[in-house]
Amino acid sequence: MASAAVSLVAFGSAPADACVDISDTALDFVADTTTPSVGSGAVLFTAVQKAAFGYTSTDIAVLWGSTSPNSAQYYSKFAASVHTTLITNASSIAAGDVLVIGAAGTYTGHTAIVTGPATQLSTALNPVYANTKQWAVPIADSTTSVHGCSVAFPDSRWTGNCTTGTFAAGEGTAYMRLYSDLSDNLQGYSWSVTSGATYYAPSVRPYVIGRLTPCPPL
């Protein structure tokens, strides 16, 4: 796993200020196929913090109010800027940021760790909305739902072609699609960078992208 030796305090929104130990350690988890799956995206984020910063369950509880926060709990903290700075502009997204989707109805939310900057799509994919831009964001997460099947924006857990291939649940890397206005201010999202993927407005499924401040928070 990645080293916990980090002293960077990140107060701005520039990519250089992102907490890269978060993304590096998440990618370590994905690459280490000898370790058992950690479960949900929120559980992965908790495990990554422990591995990257040497945190205990008590430390996690002090920071986030639970020894094992779920995505809804992380969303509540991130949305209130607890130990985080919100990233609201697509051009500011960087490795180490964390994308957290809140609970909505029967949906329990999701947590994904950003592993690189957002890249604007040169050709928008359906659904397309007027006066918006679309962005592909590389992530690491743990999920039972594939982030689409795409050669350009693959999910590492998918094997084979898009018709007869198979998906292995657990940790992996993938891409999600974000929408912004023409000034790059974030709007809704879709689960994958594939044509026809469902668009979720913030009013339907709220999400935030946060950057730990400082890094590590304790």
Give the C-alpha separation, 187 to 46, whole Å. 26
Q: What is the pTM of this model?
A: 0.91
In whole angstroms, give the CA distance from residue 167 to residue 160. Answer: 9
Angle among Cα 122, 195, 169 to the nearest 5 degrees reads 110
The C-alpha angle with vertex 62 and arms to 88 and 100, in degrees rounded to 5, equals 30
Write down the pLDDT at residue 10: 30
pLDDT of 18 reads 80
pLDDT on residue 57: 97
Stretches in the chain below the pLDDT threshold 70: 1-17
Distance of CA 47 to the CA centre of its chain: 14
pLDDT of residue 186: 98
